[in-house]
Amino acid sequence: MFPDERGGSIRALVRRRDGALDSFEADALVVEEPLEIRVREGETAQPVRLLVTMRTPGHDEDLAAGILFSGGVIEAAGELLDLARPSDPRIEPELARNVVIATIAVRPGGSRRAGWRSEPVTSACGVCGETSIERVAELASAARRRMAETAADEPVVSAGLLVALPDALRREQALFRSTGGLHAAGLFDADGASVVVREDVGRHNATDKAIGSCLREKRPVPPILLVSGRLGFEIVQKAAIAGVRIVCSISAPTSLAVELAEETGLTIVGFLRGERFNVYSHPARVRGAG
Catalytic residues: 125
Residue-wise DSSP of 10-55: EEEEEEEEETTEEEEEEEEEE--EEEEEEEEESTTSPPEEEEEEEE
CB contact at 8 A, 206 and 54: no
Give the CA distances from residue 47 to residues 38, 66, 76, in Å, rounded to whole numbers and listed in that order.
6, 18, 20
Residues 6+ apart with CB under 8 A from 119: 51, 129, 131
Measured at the CA of 197, the angle between CA 192 and CA 201, to 5 degrees, comes to 140
Helix 255-264 / helix 133-149 crossing angle, nearest 10 deg: 40
